[in-house]
A and B are shown apart, each in its own frame.
Chain A
Amino acid sequence: MADEPLVLGIETSCDETGVGIVRGTTLLADAVATSVEEHGRFGGVVPEIASRAHLEAMVPTVQRALDQAGIKASDLDGIAVTAGPGLAGALLVGVSAAKAYAYALDKPLYGVNHLASHICVDQLEHGRLPEPTMALLVSGGHSSLLLTSDITSDVRSLGATVDDAAGEAFDKVARVLGLGFPGGPVIDRYAAEGDPAAIAFPRGLSGPRDPAYDFSFSGLKTAVARWIEARRRAGEEVPVRDVAASFQEAVTDVLTRKAVRACLDHGVDHLMIGGGVAANSRLRAMAQERCERAGIELRVPRMKLCTDNGAMVAALGSEMVWRDRAPSAFDLSADSSLPVTETHVPAAGPVLPLSHDELHRMSE
């Protein structure tokens, strides 16, 4: 629909500089520049390297998105940006640029939550989210079960990881196996040729008295490392494919079991999976199978929309405009630990232009 809000979204919370343009629930552009190769040899994202790369990539990536969408910046109805959570210095590059674009173009600014964006992106694939939606958010920094009745204003956390995030576990196990960084995609590939039943790795927090919706992956990671070391010490070859498949099976088993249970317990007949780990092929297949058996409809966006990108930010921004949510102020902060329940960061008071009194107060 032509009258749906046209929004540009900027994402710089980690190592991807993403700029997306969305009209309502229609994706018009998704431009991403990544510094992932520069981090590889450090075994993890180096914040300063990521921040430097964001600054360099920002304007070219915005231009690429505008070209892809075939629109002029002046056509936009708003500018959305990831305000948090994420790496503080990296977030600040995107937030600074977004403010400047919004200011120069006279458009409202929306500082939005990265995690809510990971959920909202599904609207670009499967249309408006049903309400309520159960979301399993699995990424490099988070593993949570979230229940949302309105993605712009109400996200409730039912449970989360008590130690490592799922993506972190993939990355750490890949490091032990010497497979490089990031670990998720490589393990996914090796696992496809391995036997998921070869090794019985533990399923964390799965006992009858354990919290139903929380996760724990650090014990699993240690168990995998011990198993590998024992093999190496015995001078035996490590069956990388079987280890990858069995580890992946343990992660996806717990994730999907708890997600389906949360849906059934709360009478929700839709499950959305988002975040970088949602790109995992076994997770997608297992969730499909288990949801079908439980009569739950599964919604997982295509892989490119699961990892960090600007389109997800634009999708949530467009929803903010659509639902008339209050814009952010031009003194918006980047908040590295923005709680998942804060879907956006509306202005506390009136937005610029400020009155004389306010300017006076500000300068004191």
Chain B
Amino acid sequence: MLLLAFDTATPAVTAALLDTEDGAVLASADQVDARRHGELLLPVVDRVLRTAGVGKEQLGALAVGVGPGPYTGLRVGLATAAALGHALGIPVHGVCTLDGIAHAARQAGLSGPFTVATDARRKEVYWARYDAAAGRAEGPQVDRPGELAERLGGLPAVGAGALLYPEVFRNVPEGMPEHQSAAALAAYAAGELAAGRPLLPPTPLYLRRPDAEVPKNYKTVLPA
């Protein structure tokens, strides 16, 4: 089956096509621009399919990163996946974005327990902790890095969130992924599906409630 994966929960707009029969990545493309996910995603997807010489009607399933990640960009991926899946009549699987980055870190040679952290803006990080057996042991959560120092500071950490706060994440191995790569996301998703483990529903992991304030009591216009 041909699995198309993409993710817009990190500054990378990334897409990849994977053949689940042999696990081969037929094509992938990445473009890093945190402010233009909306403009870039569909052209990147198109580039991947054309590079692989695959028609969209040949796709068997989609895998999409469900975050956590900055909301506006995150929704570009999810809205695109939902509509593509609907129009093509194929299933859409959700994958925690941090699991994709963790998979890429393993592929890059990281072993043992580690942390994945991405930039949540507002001086916070999205993070998850992985155990030696490659499973997600804790998270995803969103926190101020300072609050994580004691618990996670000693563990190796990967991702842009770790690079952003070196005073907290003191052990950032070389050669590790900074942003999401859809090739790793696709490989991870294919592995889970093959093992019969269910993936996530394609709905966003926001982790925070919407910013909304009930307005203060009505302000008078007459002088007090």
B144 within 8 A of A: no
Q: Mark A229-249, 1 if CB is under 8 A from B, else 0.
A: 110010000000000000000
Interface centre among A94, A175, A225 (most CB of B within 10 A): A225
In the complex, the answer to whether A222 meets B221 with C-beta atoms within 8 Å is yes
Q: Which residue of B lies closest to A39 (CB)?
A: B212
Q: Which residue of A lies closest to B87 (CB)?
A: A104
In the complex, the answer to whether A103 meets B42 with C-beta atoms within 8 Å is yes
In-complex Cβ contact of B82 among A59, A88, A105 (8 A) = A59
List the A side residues contacting B84 at CB < 8 Å: 100, 103-104
B19 within 8 A of A: no
B215 within 8 A of A: yes
In the complex, the answer to whether A352 meets B46 with C-beta atoms within 8 Å is yes
Q: How large is the interface on B (under 10, 10 to 19, 20 to 34, 35 or more residues)?
A: 35 or more
In the complex, the answer to whether B222 meets A230 with C-beta atoms within 8 Å is yes
The secondary-structure label for the interface of chain A is helix
Q: How far is the CA of A50 from the CA of B56 in the complex (A)?
A: 31
Which residues of B (12-46) have their CB < 8 Å from a CB of A? 29, 31, 38-43, 45-46
Q: How far is the CA of A352 from the CA of B39 in the complex (A)?
A: 13
Q: How far is the CA of A30 from the CA of B148 in the complex (A)?
A: 50
Interface centre among A56, A93, A233, A332 (most CB of B within 10 A): A93
- A213: min CB distance to chain B, Å: 28
Q: Which residue of A lies closest to B83 (CB)?
A: A100
- B222: min CB distance to chain A, Å: 5
Q: Which residue of B lies closest to A56 (CB)?
A: B203
Q: Mark A10-24, 1 if CB is under 8 A from B, else 0.
A: 000000000000000
In-complex Cβ contact of B213 among A42, A73, A97, A100 (8 A) = A42
Q: How far is the CA of A362 from the CA of B29 in the complex (A)?
A: 12
Q: How far is the CA of A58 from the CA of B45 in the complex (A)?
A: 21
A330 within 8 A of B: yes
* A51 and B71 in contact, given A96-B80, A332-B39 (Cβ under 8 angstroms): yes
In the complex, the answer to whether B86 meets A229 with C-beta atoms within 8 Å is no
A95 within 8 A of B: yes
Q: How large is the interface on A (under 10, 10 to 19, 20 to 34, 35 or more residues)?
A: 35 or more
In the complex, the answer to whether B214 meets A51 with C-beta atoms within 8 Å is no
Q: Which residue of B lies closest to A12 (CB)?
A: B79
In-complex Cβ contact of B46 among A46, A225, A353, A363 (8 A) = A353
In the complex, the answer to whether A353 meets B222 with C-beta atoms within 8 Å is no
In-complex Cβ contact of A354 among B46, B82, B211 (8 A) = B46
In the complex, the answer to whether A58 meets B43 with C-beta atoms within 8 Å is no
Q: How far is the CA of A53 from the CA of B50 in the complex (A)?
A: 33
A200 within 8 A of B: no
Q: Mark A93-129, 1 if CB is under 8 A from B, else 0.
A: 1111111110111000000000000000000000000
- B64: min CB distance to chain A, Å: 11
B72 within 8 A of A: yes
B residues with CB within 8 A of A: 29, 31, 38-43, 45-47, 50, 56, 71-72, 75-76, 78-84, 86-88, 203-204, 206, 210-215, 218, 220-222
A residues with CB within 8 A of B: 41-44, 46, 48-49, 51-52, 54-56, 58-59, 62-63, 73, 88-89, 92-101, 103-105, 175-176, 222, 225-226, 229-230, 233, 330-334, 352-354, 359, 362-363
Enumerate the 9 nearest inter-chain pairs by beta-carbon distance, A residue then B residue, closest first.
A100-B83, A104-B87, A48-B210, A96-B79, A46-B212, A97-B83, A330-B42, A331-B39, A100-B80
